[in-house]
Structure 1
Amino acid sequence: MTNKHIGSSLDDFLKEEGMFEEAAAHALKRVLATQIAEAMDAEGLTKTAMARRMKTSRAQLDRLLDPNNEKVQLDTVQRAASAVGRTLRIELA
């Protein structure tokens, strides 16, 4: 018996297994958390200073920076981007 996944892409495999949406959301959150953390480092911002700039709590910032927490509100991400002098771009592809 041959493996039907040989030669297919990871995206194809995840779609066939019904896991693509979840994997894509997790990957997106991981990238976003990394970009925010790197921007904070570039600005020399501590978590406390970043939370103050965002006008939020350290706990909410920790949730934003947690790559495993995918439940983050768009306005929180926008405030984080603004706090490090960046803009948030979102598009449907």
Structure 2
Amino acid sequence: MAIKRVIAYQIEEEMRAQNITQTELAQRMNTSRAVVSRLLNPKNSSLTLSTLSSAVSALGKKLDVSII
């Protein structure tokens, strides 16, 4: 769950920086606000790479996943 907290925090910070609401992010992702809410909820461990990739792309960023 620690990783999910970090991911949710980073997405929320980028949303704040761009002044984007959950509703606007959902529209950019072509999904519902409920999906974005689950994505940003650090207690909800459900997260797919597809959803994460869509959110990051909607924020104009790139997703980099590494195994070190």
Match of 1:50? 25
Query: In 2, Cα distance between the equivalents of 1:40 and 1:81?
Result: 10
Q: In the TM superposition, what is the alpha-carbon distance from 1:41 to its structure 2 partner? A: 0.7
Q: CA RMSD in A?
A: 0.7
- Tell me the amino acid that sits aligned with residue 27 of structure 1: A
Match of 2:58? 83
- Decide which structure has the larger Cα Rg and report it: 1
Query: Is structure 2 residue 34 aligned with structure 1 residue 59?
Result: yes
Match of 1:10? none
Larger RCO (CA within 8 A; separation ≥ 6): 2
Q: In the TM superposition, what is the alpha-carbon distance from 1:51 to its structure 2 partner? A: 0.4
Structure 1 residue corresponding to 2:11, chosen from 36, 47, 50: 36
Sequence identity (%): 46
Unmatched 5+ residue regions in structure 2?
Answer: none
- Tell me the amino acid that sits aligned with residue 38 of structure 2: R
